A and B are shown apart, each in its own frame.
Chain A
Amino acid sequence: MIIIEASDLFHSYEYEGSQSRSIDGISLRIDQGEWIAILGQNGSGKTTFAKHINALLSVQEGELTVAGLDAKDPANAWKIRQKCGMVFQDPNNQFVSSVIEEDISFGLENFDTPDNEIPEKVAKALALVGMDGFEKKSPHMLSGGQKQRIAIAGVMAVDPDIILFDEATTMLDPEGRQEVLSTIQRLHAEEGKTIIMITHFIEEAVLADRVLVFKQGLLVGDGAPGEILSDLDLLDRAGLAPPLPVSAYYDLKKAGVILPRCPLTIEDLVEALCQLR
Chain B
Amino acid sequence: MPIEINHVSYTYFPGTVFEAAALRDVSLRIEDGEYIGIMGQTGCGKSTLIQLMVGLMVPSEGKIIVDGKDINERGYQREELRKKAGIVFQYPEVQLFETTVEKDVAFGLKHSGLSKTEIAENVRWAIETVGLDFEKICAESPFSLSGGEKRRVAIAGILAAKPKFLILDEPIAGLDPKGRKDFLKLSGDLNADGVTIIMVSHNADALAEYAQRVIILDDGRLIMDAPVKEAFRDVELLRDKGIGIGQAREIAHLLTACGYPVPEDTVRYKELLPFLIGIGKGGD
Contacts and interface: CB of A to CB of B under 8 A. Distances in A.
A269 B173 CA distance: 27
A200 B177 contact: yes
Contact of A273 (B41, B146, B276): B276
A173 interface: yes
Interface in A218-276: 239-241, 244, 247-248, 251-252, 255-257, 259, 266-267, 269-270, 273-274, 276
Contact of B181 (A16, A89, A241, A252): A241
Interface string B164-188: 0000001001111111110000000
B227 interface: no
A171 interface: yes
Given A239-B178, A266-B250, A269-B251, A42 B273 contact: no
B261 interface: no
Contact of B42 (A18, A176, A239, A269): A176
A241 B247 CA distance: 14
B205 to A, nearest CB: 8
Interface in A91-108: none
Given A42-B147, A244-B269, A248-B273, A273 B279 contact: yes
A211 to B, nearest CB: 14
Given A143-B42, A173-B42, A174-B202, A273 B255 contact: yes
A41 interface: yes
A241 B254 contact: no
A274 B251 CA distance: 12
B42 A257 contact: no
B43 interface: yes
Contacts of B255: 270, 273-274
Contacts of A42: 146-148, 175-176, 179
Contacts of A43: 146-148
Contacts of B55: none
Contacts of A15: 141, 143-144
B42 A144 contact: yes
Give the interface size class of chain B.
35 or more
Contacts of B244: 173-174
A24 interface: no
A170 interface: yes
Interface residues of A, number: 40
A109 interface: no
Given A248-B276, A267-B254, A273-B255, A239 B174 contact: no
A208 interface: no
B242 A255 contact: no
A202 interface: yes
A215 to B, nearest CB: 11
Contact of B277 (A16, A89, A255, A270): A255
B15 interface: no
Contacts, number: 110
Contact of A170 (B173, B247, B260, B279): B173
A175 B41 contact: yes
B137 interface: no
Given A170-B173, A170-B174, A270 B258 contact: yes
Contacts of B277: 251-252, 255, 257
Given A89-B174, A143-B42, A257 B179 contact: no
B177 A256 contact: no
A136 interface: no
B280 interface: yes
Interface in A169-224: 170-176, 200, 202
Contacts of A251: 273, 276-277
B243 interface: yes
The winner among A18, A40, A42 for most chain B CB atoms within 10 A is A42
Contacts of A41: 148, 176-179
A157 B255 CA distance: 44
A277 B242 contact: no
Contacts of B280: 252, 255, 257, 259, 273, 276
12 contacts: A18-B144, A41-B148, A42-B175, A143-B42, A143-B43, A171-B174, A175-B41, A240-B177, A252-B276, A270-B254, A270-B258, A276-B282
Given A171-B173, A270-B254, 8 more contacts: A41-B177, A143-B42, A174-B202, A200-B176, A266-B254, A267-B254, A273-B255, A276-B279
